[in-house]
Amino acid sequence: MAIRKIREEGDEILSKKSREVEKVDERIQELIDDMLETMYKANGVGLAAVQVGVLKQVIVIDIEEEEHDPVILINPKIIKEKGKQEVEEGCLSFPNKFAKVIRPAEITVEALDRNGEPFKIKAKELMAQAISHEIDHLNGIVFVDKIIPGTLEYVKPESK
């Protein structure tokens, strides 16, 4: 496994659309492992492959603080969204920005897991927020595109 460089604000790849993964092979699994390592090192709860410079529809999410219990979504498709939640949000590609955005309160998604097996996930609250945020990345949309006006806060980046 290896830490990959996280692409940050100003990098035009962040506004590009990711392509579907045709075959979940060893290279994709290596990408997933690297993304997990990169996300944990940066203390993030989610990461899309585009954020490490790979335009493939691969997402890793882990909202657990204690034990690692990641969810891997390959080629995710939103089947259903329900309700709305106004939430505080940040993104590893915008390390000094936080703002409020509107996310679905519940989301149901179909995707492939890390072995290429199809599954369905229904999520609410923080998990629904994270899935919505990461699927946006696959479509070239970042959270600063949908900030509720007046809620943007700048925070000094942590020294690394």
Q: Which residues bind Ni ion (CB under 5 A)?
A: 91
Task: Report, in Å, the least distance between residue 116 CB and Ni ion.
Answer: 25
What is the four-CA torsion angle of 41, 42, 47, 52, rounded to 10 degrees?
-80
**Catalytic pick among 64, 65, 134, 153:** 134
Question: Catalytic residue at 134?
Answer: yes
Q: How many CA atoms lie within 13 A of 39 on its CB side?
A: 28
Q: How far is the CB of 12 from Ni ion (least distance, A)?
A: 16
Q: Which is nearer to Ni ion, 26 or 154 (CB)?
A: 154
Tokens read off for 14: 């962040």
To Ni ion, the closest distance from the beta carbon of 54 in angstroms equals: 14
Give the nearer residue to Ni ion in terms of CB position, either 91 or 101: 91
Contact 1, 37 (CB under 8 A): yes
